[in-house]
Amino acid sequence: MTIRSTYLSILAAGGLALGIGLTTTPASADDLATWQKEIVQLVAKKQVYPRAALSREIEGHAKVKLTVDRSGKIQSHEIVERTGQPVLDKEIDGLVERLDPLPTPPADIPDADLSFVLPLAWVIQ
The residue segments making up the domain with residue 12 are: 3-124
Per-residue confidence band for 98, with pLDDT thresholds at 50, 70 and 90: very high
SS3 52: helix
Domain count, the chain: 1
Output the pLDDT for position 109.
78
pLDDT digits (tens, 9 = 90+) for 33-64: 899 999 999 999 999 999 999 999 999 999 99
Give the mean pLDDT of 7-18: 46
pTM for the whole thing? 0.80
CA distance readout (Å), 32 to 10, 59, 119? 14, 30, 17
What's 87's domain CATH number?
A: 3.30.2420.10
Confidence of residue 125 (pLDDT cuts 50, 70, 90): confident
Compute CA distances 110 → 17, 21, 71, 103, whole Å: 16, 9, 13, 17
Q: At what angle do helices 86-99 and 26-46 cross, to 10 degrees?
A: 120
Choose among 124, 104, 116: nearest CA to 11. Answer: 116
User: Cα(66)–Cα(117) distance, rounded to whole angstroms?
Assistant: 6
Residue 9 predicted with pLDDT over 60: no
Angle at 55 between CA 53 and CA 61, to 5 degrees: 30
